[in-house]
Structure formats: structure tokens, C-alpha cells
Amino acid sequence: MLNKKTALITGSTSGIGLGIAIQLAKQNANIILNGFGSPDEIEKITKELKDLTSGKVLFHGANLMKRNEIEELISFCEKEVGSVDILINNAGIQYVSPVETFPVEKWDQIISLNLSACFHTTQLTLAGMRRKNWGRIINIASAHGLVASAEKSAYVAAKHGVVGLTKSIALETAKSSVTVNAVCPGWVLTPLVEQQIKQKAEQKGITYEQATHDLLSEKQPSLTFATPEQLGDLCVFLCSKAADQITGTALPMDGGWTAQ
Ligand code: NAD
């Protein structure tokens, strides 16, 4: 149980982040949600989570591409529920294109959100974890943090960067009770992946179902998506006492993708 612990999950209005927020709420943590969405959607999610935890559930819509908004987010957490004990760096975006035609602004956005935001949130929350002598930083990287695919230069660079950042901060915190790990999902069926399936179907003139099958069989030997719930359960495990000595790792949940 994570009673009285405060978990900040970035990008938790959708997909994997929401799945992690749900599983941490079931452990009774205070939950700070973040991400984009309509006020109605955010109200619905907040209400759902409040039914799962006896802790607080709050939302802050910081755009994590902006340092000043990240500072506001962390100050909001500290003011409302105290310093962050569990930091889940999850918010991320994707863009698929050959490098010659990769839009420069997409490169900058992906590096800013998928990599730099993890640095900023870590820098701003670590002192609080050290003060309390307990903390968990879990960076949602990707199988693309371990191996590459063509036409995803920014994403692969950012996710390899996240794995490197994870190792570096794990060494800086090794003697404390703060652990720092990366989780490396393969395909998980979320809006981020649905968009890629639609793009594949359009480009190849095939059905959504065929494109889904092609996407899985190209990379994921299990031919089965991992789920946000499973990733949430892995985060719960990483927050447990059993995981006290797991730090600096990059843990795949990828149906065998990176075993090939
Ligand atoms: P998603 O599109 O469902 O969710 C992304 C979340 O990030 C949303 O809540 C969105 O509002 C938020 N977000 C986007 N831009 C933001 C910004 N500027 N500031 C704050 N929040 C922002 O995506 P997902 O598939 O759940 O992906 C979550 C993470 O998991 C990403 O880092 C992604 O790279 C990683 N990942 C996903 C898969 C997969 O197959 N879906 C695989 C490996 C890794």
C-alpha cells in the first residue's frame, strides 16, 4: 500500500499514464494527474480515480515542453499534498518520417517532451525525496530506448537518452533510498499507437486490422499488445519494498521485441 505517498504521473489523461495512475490509486496514493484533455474528460477521470483511493486526486495541466510550467506543476504538488514521492515521467509524443524530411519543430518538440521534461521534473523533485529518505523515479522509456526503428529518429534518440538519464541519476542516488528505473514498453494499444496504425493503413492501402497485425508481427513476437494496466502493475512493484535494490535498470515489457 502506498498510503500517504504522493505520485505525480505526467501525461496521465490517456493511455499508459492513465493506466499507471489507476493502479497507483488502487494502492491508496495521492495522485497528481497531468496532461491535455477537455475539462469534461479530466473531470471524469478525476472522479473515477477518487473512487479508487482514500488519498487526494488533483489535476494540473502544465505543458511539459515549458520549464516554467513544470516549475508551477511541482510547486502545485508541494502546496497541495507535499513533495512528490513517486515521479512517473510518462508524457510523450511520436512522429514518423525519414530523417531528410523530419520537420525541425517535431524534432525539437519530441526532445523537449520525451527527454528534457524528465530532466526538469527529476531536478525539481529529487531534493524532496532525499529529505524524506524515500523516493521512486520511473521513466517510461520504450523498446525504442534499447533498439531502433527506421523513421523515428527523434523518438529513438529521446528514448535512448531517457535510458541514459535513468542510469546516471541512479548512480547519483545509489546510496540513498531513492531508486530510478526506466520501463521499456513494446506496443501498447493507446492513441499514440492507433495514430501509427491508421498512418500505416493509409500508406499501404490496407485495413486497420491488417495494419495492426503487420505492426505487431514486424516487432513484437508475442503478437499481443501489453496493456496500460500491466504497466501500472509493474510501477506498483517498482514502488514496493521488494524493489528497493532495483535501480538504474531499463525493464522491457515488450512481448520479446528486444530479445531478437
Ligand atoms: P498517449 O498519446 O495515449 O498519452 C500521452 C499523454 O501525454 C496524454 O495524457 C497527453 O495529454 C500527454 N501530453 C502530450 N503532450 C504533452 C505536453 N506537452 N505536456 C504534458 N502532457 C502532454 O500515449 P501513450 O501511448 O500512453 O504513451 C505514454 C508514454 O509511453 C510515452 O512516453 C510513450 O513514448 C511511451 N510508450 C508508448 C508505447 C505504446 O505502444 N503506446 C510504447 C512504448 C513507449
Q: What is the model's pLDDT at position 84?
A: 98
User: Can you give the pLDDT at residue 41?
Assistant: 98
pLDDT for 158 equals: 99
pLDDT tens digits for range 185-206: 999 999 999 999 999 999 999 9
SS3 content of the chain, % helix, strand, coil (to 5): 50, 15, 35
Q: What pLDDT is attached to residue 1? A: 87
- 3-state class of 26 per DSSP? coil
* Choice from 90, 152, 160 to test ligand 1 binding pocket (greatest atom count within 8 A of CB): 90
Per-residue pLDDT tens over the stretch 237-255: 999 999 999 999 999 999 9
Atom of ligand 1 nearest to the CA of 61: 20
Residues with CB under 6 A from ligand 1: 11-17, 34-36, 63-65, 90-93, 113-114, 140, 142, 185, 187-188, 190-193
Local confidence band at 52 (pLDDT 50, 70, 90 cut-offs): very high
- For atom 3 of ligand 1, the residue with the nearest CA is 15
- Angle (nearest 5°) at CA 139 between 133 and 142: 155
Pairing assessment for the beta strands 86-89 and 135-140 based on DSSP bridges: parallel
Of the residues 59, 95, 107, 155, only one is catalytic, namely 155
- Among 9, 14, 70, say which to mutate for ligand 1: greatest number of ligand atoms within 8 Å of CB: 14
Buried/exposed 87-118: b ≥16 CB within 10 Å, e otherwise:
bbbbbbbbbbeeeeebeeebbeebbbbbbbbb
State pLDDT tens for residues 116-173.
999 999 999 999 999 999 999 999 999 999 999 999 999 999 999 999 999 999 999 9
| pTM above threshold 0.95 | yes
* Percent of the chain predicted with pLDDT > 70: 100
Q: Whose CA is nearest to atom 21 of ligand 1?
A: 35
Mutate to test the pocket of ligand 1, among 20, 36, 106, 198 (most ligand atoms within 8 A of CB): 36
Please provide residue 258's backbone torsions phi and psi, each rounded to the nearest 5 degrees: -85, 5
Give CA–CA dist 149/143, Å, rounded: 10
Q: What CA–CA distances, in Å, run from 117 to 69, 112, 145, 240?
A: 11, 6, 16, 25
